A and B are shown apart, each in its own frame.
Chain A
């Protein structure tokens, strides 16, 4: 891992007696995409609020770009971009007016709203009032707003939730592009496929604790079942399926026998999904 852009050390937050985030520790390297996954109420949002300087941790500390967020929130916030789950745009304004306002607040010189809008697939819509935008357009505009200051860390909270496939794909491409430019991405999502596709590593959070943190591949290796699933023609002429577990001592012999003795129609490798792994680890689903 490269130099960490985000370091969380025993980060803790509680609302009265309810512990929302319970001593979570992790690092995110510069230019890395970390998928932060967990069901509703797991503590994702509270963790993001602490990492983006909205809330002070009750215990522990978070360091972003080498500075403690508790003491240097404004310096850090000048270098990060945050895209919220719920729409929070100035809807009576046009898209360009929204972006220009934030560009001026960030002190970005020679800001070109049209170019940024073009980048998120909203070219030619700059002079349209945001209140007339669809949900997907608003979401893309929020992503655009998060990119105004060319952030070194980008926090995205459910950026593709409820969007049409085209809008979702546009946002995924923007995330990849940001990573290519060296931006660290902290991605909170319910979409396991999205997390699998985009993230270098994923963290599972459950009941305020990080219960797993690794690359999707490593998690699948560690927790997932590896198997071959074959469809073959049975004795009565009907299609039957058979599963061969990959890590058994006689896996190779089983495969040899399968092809030697049976009439194999199809063979598939079977891998666990991140959702399967999450359920396996926590005993609960993501929703």
Chain B
């Protein structure tokens, strides 16, 4: 085993790999999914609702709005600037406070408040800001609330919000697309173009080639995993632990990708296989989507041990001691898969039908 040759092959993959459509997919799909979920659920990038305000006088409304935790307040010099900000979507709602607004509230005359609404703002943000504005006005007018609202949660009180349910699927897709699919397609392409035979009849061994493909998968999977967690604001307070978990997950995915690429002869068979086993690969993440499904079912799928420790750390703030059993199983799975890959690599010359396309 030569590290120099592995580095040369890895360099080739990094230079020429990005022209492969699956390489591009592995980077783009997780990003697109994140954006799509953001649009549907409106959580990841939207953050707090943004309120724009311009005050012709010296209303206490501005100071009180500034102290609210649930919204972001942006102040503008005049109504035109505010209008422009709302039109651009820089704020969800814009409020024009006329001079003497506070006095009008306390007096008998009805006060007029002009509110601009950004047409593409999320309904959720509009509702939060409308409620906040109403509460601020009531406080400024000095009137007590005529109603005391007592809230009582019905149904499943432990149900996770959708952004939390979808995060495991996005992270698992990221890890598997980059870790498994990139090395598998790269290997199958080398078989179909017979370049694998040219490489392995030099002093380069099949094991070195497999390792280079596997490292490529780990690099893409790990990098994209980190990017997706950062974009989703899910990195939390234990980034090193999360990077370690992503690395292990990427390693399992890459070992599986190399095994798949070694056993499958052509690209059509590869995609048929991926379609067939896709549901098994993503099953643990699908279970997260439906909390009514008993969580233990996920344990029968190997990818459960990739995603569960990550979810536990990102969403529940779990520490090493809480996830070490699952991580231990993950490490055992990695060793088992690597053992299988090493075994079939040794069989390549004596049982070529086991690894179709290697000898051509």
Contact = CB atoms under 8 A, between A and B. Distances in A.
Contacts of A75: 203
Contact of A90 (B195, B201, B202): B195
A160 B197 CA distance: 20
Contacts of A56: 349-350
B205 A88 contact: no
B4 interface: yes
Interface string B126-141: 0000000000000000
Given A56-B350, A77-B202, A92-B19, A107 B195 contact: no
Contact of A105 (B193, B194, B202): B202
Contacts of A86: 194, 360
Contacts of B16: 90, 92-93
A106 B203 contact: yes
A91 B189 CA distance: 12
Nearest to B193: A88
Interface string A73-115: 1110110101010111111110000000110111100000000
A194 B28 CA distance: 53
Nearest to A69: B349
B279 interface: no
A146 to B, nearest CB: 9
A55 interface: yes
A84 B199 CA distance: 12
A52 B349 CA distance: 11
A89 B195 contact: yes
Interface string B335-360: 00000000000000110100000011
Contacts of A90: 16, 193, 195
Contacts of B350: 56
B interface, how many residues as a size bin? 20 to 34
B8 interface: yes
Nearest to A82: B201
Contact of B349 (A54, A87, A101): A54
B200 interface: yes
B45 to A, nearest CB: 36
A102 B199 CA distance: 8
Given A101-B12, A105-B8, A54 B200 contact: yes
Contacts of A78: 202-203
Per CB-CB distance, the 9 closest pairs between chain A and chain B, nearest first, are A88-B194, A78-B203, A56-B350, A56-B349, A88-B198, A54-B359, A82-B201, A104-B8, A105-B204
Interface of B: 4-5, 8-9, 12, 16, 19, 193-195, 197-205, 349-350, 352, 359-360
Given A54-B197, A84-B197, A101-B8, 5 more contacts: A55-B349, A55-B352, A74-B203, A88-B195, A105-B202
